[in-house]
Amino acid sequence: MNTDKKQLTGFDLKQLTQWIKELGEPAFRAKQVMEWLVKGYDFNEMRNLPADLIVKLQNNAVAQPATVLERHVSKNDGTEKLLFNLDDSHTVEGVVMRYKHGITFCLSTQVGCAMGCAFCASTLQGRLRNLTAGEMTGMVYLANRMVKPDSISNIVLMGSGEPLDNYDEVLAFLRLISSKESLNIGARHISLSTCGLPDKIRALADEKMQVTLSVSLHASNDEVRKQIMPIAKTHSIKSVLDAAKYYLEQTGRRVVFEYALIQGINDHIDHARELASLLRGMQSHVNLIPLNDVKERNLRASTKAQVEAFLSELTRLKISATVRRQLGDDIFGACGQLRAKRLGTSFADSAGDER
């Protein structure tokens, strides 16, 4: 990553104005530059700027700290999988998903991931580094430019990486992308998925930003969770749920719990009953995820009948739950798959979308 040049997509308007003035330029130029950055444009495309300012910008900053290396469009549902190339040649993914209610962009927050979940391709190389707020914001701008004349209306931080393990940069990104000078995407249209870091969940709750918290639970008890999620050895389900309840109290936002169904591991009816007992009385929703087979780790997807039975039992027990619609199956739609495929990792063909 080039640390000598400023990532302008990481600046809010006030910060950009100050920096522009330090270049010896009038303050009004900052608003012009910001408008082009938000559109996903590079310096040489900023048509209303004087040539000498363009040279200054090119010498001292980068407009877009990522470029689109690969773009795959699903023939089945129009989902677009993007592989971004960063300034240091690392790659991360993003997914454009089209729904009736608008366009959602799924964004990565780290290069790789340190959490080690058994069913996820993102964690194969470990965490190589955190993404900056500028990189995350820039990728949203590029994706938004690609979907024109439509626009991105929702963001989910559910790609590669653990968002709360990159807390400061993610928080800066959330503030940037929701500002009126940026894309003005309100916090209620942003979801953040975490495997469960209680202290960071509480810190985010204290921000009172109204972001939807999505907890990757994937088990109804600690013994099962430890089999598939190393984080469970450090943080119990109780500690995660207590933090989630605190988030609900501080924000008034219901919490979503992700639950990937794995045959013979967490998909028994008793697990559904146990999960219902954990969540009873809490304003929440369970998002059941049909997992793809993970041959390398001997994990098999639950059958359609098992998924339906699990959902039926939760519904009977008055727990709000749905089965996630699978998108982009023909273009390595699950997080980490396309990057792993490019890196030559065999897990890419079998990993499921756990988020």
SS (H, E, C) 236-252: CHHHHHHHHHHHHHHHC
pLDDT at position 101 over 50? yes
* The pLDDT of residue 1: 59
Q: Does pLDDT of 83 surpass 60?
A: yes
Question: Which of 93, 162, 169, 354 is labelled catalytic?
Answer: 93
Q: Which of 149-163, 277-291, 319-333 has the lowest mean pLDDT?
A: 319-333
- The DSSP code sequence of 313-342 is HHHHTT--EEEPPP--GGGT-STTHHHHHH
pLDDT tens column, 250-281: 999 999 999 999 999 999 999 999 999 999 99
Mean pLDDT of 37-46: 98
Residue 309 scores a pLDDT above 80: yes
Contact, 81 vs 338, CB < 8 A? yes
Q: Directed axis angle between helix 198-207 and helix 237-251, to 10°?
A: 0
pLDDT at 112: 92
Q: Report how far Cα 164 is from the mean position of its chain's Cα atoms.
A: 11
pLDDT of res. 120? 83
Active site residue 296: no
108 in helix, strand or coil?
coil
Q: How far apart are the C-alpha atoms of 285 and 319, rounded to whole Å?
A: 7
| pLDDT surpassing 50 at residue 199 | yes
Which whole number is the average pLDDT over 204-219?
A: 97
Residue 335 a catalytic site member = yes
Mean pLDDT of 6-35: 98
Distances (CA, A) of 348 to 76, 124, 265, 293: 20, 10, 22, 11
pLDDT of residue 338: 57
Q: Considering the entire predicted model, what is its pTM?
A: 0.91
Residue 104 · residue 83 · CB < 8 Å: no
> What does the pLDDT average to over 242-254?
98
pLDDT given for residue 141 in this prediction: 98
Of 169, 218, 211, the C-alpha closest to 195 is: 218
CB 156 within 8 A of CB 213: no
For residues 132 and 278, what is the distance between their CA atoms, to the nearest angstrom? 36
Q: Count CB-CB contacts under 10 A for residue 22.
A: 9
Q: How confident is the model over 184-196, as pLDDT tens digits?
A: 999 999 999 999 9
Residue 354 has a pLDDT of 37
Separation CA 140–CA 147 (nearest Å): 11
> Nearest to residue 342, comparing CAs of 72, 58, 35?
72
Pair of tokens at residue 345: 């990792």
* Domains, the chain, ordered by start: 6-62 (1.10.150.530), 66-349 (3.20.20.70)
Secondary structure (3-state) at 224 = helix
Give the orientation angle of helix 269-279 with respect to helix 304-316, to 10 degrees.
Answer: 40
Residue tagged active-site, from 106, 117, 120, 335: 335
